[in-house]
Structure 1
Amino acid sequence: MALKATIYKATLNIANVDEHLYETHQLTMAQHPSETIERLMVRLLAFARFAHERLEFTKDLFETNMPALWQQDLTGLTELWLEVGLPDEDKVKKASARCQKVAVIAYGSMATDWYQKSSKLKTLRNVAVWALPTETTAALETLCERTMDLQLNVMDGEWTLISDQGSVIIDWQVLQA
């Protein structure tokens, strides 16, 4: 019998003073049996970074030709292709040719090395890459619960994610803007 996905629900309240964005999102995320809590929380943070009413989680671990999240316009064309982790350069290059904007949220101990070796990414003008240090993603894991009530505060470039379990300052490292 195949293992089933674990469902997580999150209420994400965003108060982004820098961008004058104040929203609440009700999110349902399926954690694939092979997915870690760290990756699940990075996907949630990726949603928060690009929050939009049409931004949605995909079945990227089931369908390898899909991103972790995407935003499509009303006609079904992909406006934003969002990867988490250390994706294959060719996959990102193909996405950049089909979409207006591509973003990668890299994490893990090899994130910076992965980017340094990714020569194709550096030539793509519509691709942005951020890295999250392992200290940040480890702290994010401590906030994870099956049902989460999260508050994201953004002010003067500082991101703080707060829950009943504590708070985490998000250290975004821009690798390519």
Structure 2
Amino acid sequence: MAIKATIHKAQIQIADMDRNVYGEHNLTIARQPSETDERMMIRILAFALNVPADDLRGRLELSKGLADADEPELWQRDLTGDILHWIDLGQPDERRLLKAHGRAERVSVYGYAYSTPIWWANIESKLTRAPRLSVWQIPAEQSQSLAKLAQRSMQLQVTVQDGGIYVSTAEDSLEINPIALKRPQE
């Protein structure tokens, strides 16, 4: 018998001064047995960094993630079902990213392992025809510290200011400084 997903709940207060996005969001996360605390918390962080200011063009949602290889970790779809923003985590291969680029208005990747710079160096030249792709590296030490905040029920405050991200709970806080490996072309 297969092990079922564990349900986690996160109440997130977001104050993103860089994008003028503020609000409170309640997430229910179905954490698959193969998913680590680190990956789950990076999913939550990616949500906080990409949630739109309003739902006029659709909501940002957690997808089935690891349970469905054809879906990203998060996505924003409009009311017709078209994908506005495809968000992946880790180190997806270039075929997956090019396919996503063909389906979505924007594609973002958040890498969080020590090997992210090596992965990126190997596929960067293959993604030159993906102008709407952005790739971010969350330093591994910072993503591992973020993983320590994981609980079955969480209350998180995420503040973004001048490119720095501050995540805090009632007991702890940390700073995350993502590194842009690729930004979308204007």
User: Normalised by the size of structure 1, how large is the TM-score?
Assistant: 0.96
- Specify the code of the residue in structure 2 equivalent to 1:149: Q
Q: 2:101 aligns with which of 74, 89, 96?
A: 96
Structure 1 window deviating more from structure 2 (48-57 vs 107-116): it is 48-57
1:23 corresponds to which residue?
23
Unaligned runs of 5+ in 1: none
- Specify the code of the residue in structure 2 equivalent to 1:126: R
4+ runs deviating over 4 angstroms? none
Q: 2:139 aligns with which of 128, 133, 137?
A: 133
Look up the SS of the partner of 1:46 in the other structure.
helix
Superposition deviation, residue 11 in structure 1: 0.6
2:40 corresponds to which residue?
40
Tell me how far apart the structure 1 counterparts of residues 74 and 18 of structure 2 sit (CA, whole Å). 23
Q: Is the 8 A contact 1:58 1:70 kept in 2?
A: yes
- Specify the code of the residue in structure 2 equivalent to 1:108: A
Tell me how far apart the structure 2 counterparts of residues 115 and 174 of structure 1 sit (CA, whole Å). 11
Look up the SS of the partner of 1:164 in the other structure.
coil
Tell me how far apart the structure 2 counterparts of residues 5 and 115 of structure 1 sit (CA, whole Å). 30
- Specify the code of the residue in structure 2 equivalent to 1:133: P
Look up the SS of the partner of 2:66 in the other structure.
coil
Tell me how far apart the structure 1 counterparts of residues 156 and 74 of structure 2 sit (CA, whole Å). 19
Tell me how far apart the structure 2 counterparts of residues 49 and 17 of structure 1 sit (CA, whole Å). 11
1:4 corresponds to which residue?
4
Q: Percent identity?
A: 41
Look up the SS of the partner of 1:10 in the other structure.
strand
- Specify the code of the residue in structure 2 equivalent to 1:47: F
2:69 corresponds to which residue?
64
Look up the SS of the partner of 1:140 in the other structure.
helix
Q: Is the 8 A contact 1:143 1:165 kept in 2?
A: no
Q: Is the 8 A contact 2:7 2:152 kept in 1?
A: yes
Unaligned runs of 5+ in 2: none
Superposition deviation, residue 171 in structure 1: 1.4
CA root-mean-square deviation: 1.1
1:108 corresponds to which residue?
113
- Please say if 1:151 is aligned against 2:169: no
Tell me how far apart the structure 1 counterparts of residues 13 and 45 of structure 2 sit (CA, whole Å). 12
Query: What are the Cα deviations for residues 86-113 of structure 1, in whole angstroms up to 9, with x where unaligned?
Result: 0121011011011100000011011011
1:122 corresponds to which residue?
128
- Specify the code of the residue in structure 1 equivalent to 2:182: Q
Superposition deviation, residue 18 in structure 1: 2.2
Superposition deviation, residue 22 in structure 1: 1.1
Aligned residues: 177
Superposition deviation, residue 159 in structure 1: 1.0
- Specify the code of the residue in structure 1 equivalent to 2:84: E
Look up the SS of the partner of 1:33 in the other structure.
coil
Tell me how far apart the structure 2 counterparts of residues 146 and 17 of structure 1 sit (CA, whole Å). 28
Look up the SS of the partner of 1:34 in the other structure.
coil
